[in-house]
């Protein structure tokens, strides 16, 4: 109700202020219009006077003077009205300022009233919260009482059940006394049976242990046998031989064969004892074995002082020419290392000629005794000719191999070189790998 009264007062004040402002603006507007009108008439009068002066008309002068007097009187009246309008405007401004002060006072009273209302709302909310808390406490108290009553009831039921259990236990005790005698007899029989079973289990365990030991020995012998076969045959050929008892030779369209042979081996062998000769060959061939294992190249055989290996067998691949040529470069490095070490140790160093050719061949195992994995075909003969036409610690490759590796290795063309039973063949010395 109080808010409605305040809004009504604010409305009246707003209307009063608006009326005062409109009256003041209206008085100023009228004053400005009269001033403009006076100036226009004065300009017309001056213009007429100039015209009369130019015409030298003295007859109109009294009339003009009278008009000037009338105009001055009108101006004075206009000034009086303007002064009155200014005073009215000042009174209107004073009334407006007073109305503003009254409005601000009413707004302050309204703010105080609003704060009192907010405080009352907060107290009401607090009282409602306390009332809800009290209701919750009463509810929990009732639940606790109900729980206590339920507990008392359960205790009574438990006492009744305990009495029944005591009676049941007495009955079971009587029955148990009768069963114990039976259990003693059964235990005696079970003990005798366990002794018999234990003896049987002991002897069986000994038999199982002996069998396991024999199996272990058999597995170890099998492993050693597989290792021996892997030193002779490639793994896939070995698996085929174990599965079927024989193997089938296979054709390879692109395989790369490497021959490495010692220069002047006959003269060196005459200077060394058999033990020193075998020790030297074993040192070099062991180094070669480690190199080809790194590049997945298959060792074929050693024939006296010749070392033969091939890439692309028994597993076919297209990169075997690169792998074999790279292995040959590693051979040269190993030969150089052994030359230095054997020279410093007072031993005779060996110099190897290396030859490589790529082409078609057949690889596999033939016969049924003393298995050996070998390769056949003109590619093998051509690789041997490349080695025979090579120079000490040089890698001589055929034109066929060069076309496959020229993008990876720097080679020097030797021209067409005569090869035994082959005529003139394009040959190249491999210098180094292209980084």
What string of pLDDT tens digits covers the 435 residues of the chain?
A: 555 555 555 555 555 555 545 555 566 677 677 777 767 776 776 677 676 666 655 565 667 667 767 767 776 776 777 677 678 767 867 777 876 777 777 777 777 777 777 776 777 677 677 667 666 765 776 675 676 666 656 666 666 776 676 676 677 767 776 777 767 777 777 777 777 777 777 777 777 777 777 777 766 766 665 555 556 677 777 777 777 767 888 999 999 999 999 999 999 999 999 999 999 999 999 999 999 999 999 999 999 999 999 999 999 999 999 999 999 999 999 999 999 999 999 999 999 999 999 999 999 988 777 778 999 999 999 999 999 999 999 999 999 999 999 999 999 999 999 998 889 999 999 999 997
The reply to whether 201 falls in a domain is no
Beta bridge partners of 411: 430
The reply to whether 237 falls in a domain is no
How high is the pLDDT of residue 119? 74
The reply to whether 242 falls in a domain is no
How high is the pLDDT of residue 141? 60
How high is the pLDDT of residue 100? 77
CB atoms within 10 A of CB 355: 27
How high is the pLDDT of residue 83? 75
Where a domain ends, among 69, 100, 130?
130
The reply to whether 258 falls in a domain is yes
Number of domains the chain is built from: 2
User: Domain range spanning residue 285?
Assistant: 249-433
How high is the pLDDT of residue 116? 75
Instruction: Give me 238's structure tokens.
Output: 């070995």
Where a domain ends, among 130, 155, 184?
130
The reply to whether 197 falls in a domain is no
The reply to whether 230 falls in a domain is no
Verify that 397 and 260 share a domain, yes or no: yes
Beta bridge partners of 361: 252
Looking at residue 309, which CATH number applies to its domain? 3.30.70.1230
CA gap 45, 51 in Å, rounded: 10
Backbone dihedral region of 417: left (phi > 0), alpha (psi from -120 to 50 degrees) or beta?
Answer: beta
In the three-class reduction of DSSP (H, G, I as helix; E, B as strand; rest coil), residue 382 is classed as helix
Question: 302 near 388, Cβ under 8 Å?
Answer: no
The reply to whether 207 falls in a domain is no
The reply to whether 233 falls in a domain is no
Verify that 260 and 120 share a domain, yes or no: no
Where a domain ends, among 130, 163, 191?
130
What is the β-pairing status of strands 395-398 and 352-365? Answer: parallel
Helices 320-344 and 274-294 cross at an angle (nearest 10°) of: 140
Rounded to an integer, what is the distance from CA 17 to the centroid of its chain?
74
Verify that 120 and 258 share a domain, yes or no: no
Q: Which helix (H) or strand (E) holds 38?
A: helix 2-55
Q: Which helix (H) or strand (E) holds 80?
A: helix 61-232
CA gap 301, 375 in Å, rounded: 10
How high is the pLDDT of residue 17? 54
Non-local CB neighbours of 312 within 8 Å, separated by 6+ positions? 252, 254, 255, 256, 320
């Amino acid at each position: 109700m109080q808010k409605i009264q305040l809004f009504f007062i604010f409305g009246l004040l707003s209307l009063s202020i608006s009326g005062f402002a409109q009256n003041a603006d209206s008085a100023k507007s009228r004053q400005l219009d009269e001033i403009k009108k006076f100036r226009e008439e004065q300009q017309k009068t001056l213009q007429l006077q100039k015209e009369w002066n130019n015409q030298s008309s003295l007859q109109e002068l009294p009339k003009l003077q009278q008009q000037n007097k009338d105009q001055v009187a009108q101006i004075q009246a206009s000034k009086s009205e303007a002064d009155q309008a200014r005073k009215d405007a000042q009174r209107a401004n004073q009334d407006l300022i007073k109305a503003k002060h009254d409005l601000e006072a009413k707004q302050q009273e309204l703010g105080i009233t609003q704060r009192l209302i907010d405080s009352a709302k907060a107290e009401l909310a607090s009282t409602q919260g306390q009332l809800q808390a009290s209701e919750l406490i009463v509810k929990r108290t009732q639940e606790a009482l109900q729980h206590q009553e339920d507990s008392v009831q359960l205790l009574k039921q438990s006492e009744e059940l305990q009495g029944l259990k005591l009676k049941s236990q007495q009955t079971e005790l009587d029955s148990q006394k009768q069963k114990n005698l039976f259990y003693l007899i059964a235990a005696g029989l079970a003990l005798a049976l366990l002794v018999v079973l234990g003896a049987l289990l002991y002897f069986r365990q000994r038999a199982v242990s002996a069998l396991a030991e024999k199996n272990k020995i058999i597995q170890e012998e099998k492993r050693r046998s597989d290792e021996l076969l892997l030193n002779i045959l490639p793994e896939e050929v070995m698996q085929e031989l174990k599965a079927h008892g024989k193997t089938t030779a296979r054709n390879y369209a692109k395989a790369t064969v490497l021959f490495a042979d010692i220069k002047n081996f006959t003269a060196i062998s005459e200077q060394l004892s058999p033990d020193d000769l075998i020790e030297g060959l074993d040192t070099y061939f062991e180094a070669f074995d480690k190199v080809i294992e790194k590049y997945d190249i298959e060792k074929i055989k050693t024939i006296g002082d010749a070392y033969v290996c091939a890439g692309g067998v028994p597993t076919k691949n297209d990169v075997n020419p690169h792998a074999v040529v790279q292995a040959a470069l590693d051979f040269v490095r190993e030969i150089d290392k052994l030359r230095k070490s054997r020279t410093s140790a007072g031993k005779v160093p060996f110099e190897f000629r290396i030859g490589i050719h790529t082409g078609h061949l057949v690889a596999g195992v033939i016969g049924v005794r003393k298995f050996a994995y070998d390769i056949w075909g003109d590619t093998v003969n051509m690789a041997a000719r490349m080695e025979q036409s090579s120079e000490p610690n040089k890698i001589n490759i055929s034109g066929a191999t060069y076309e496959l590796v020229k993008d990876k290795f720097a080679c020097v063309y030797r021209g067409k070189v005569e090869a035994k039973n082959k005529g003139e063949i394009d040959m190249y010395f491999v210098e180094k790998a292209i980084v």
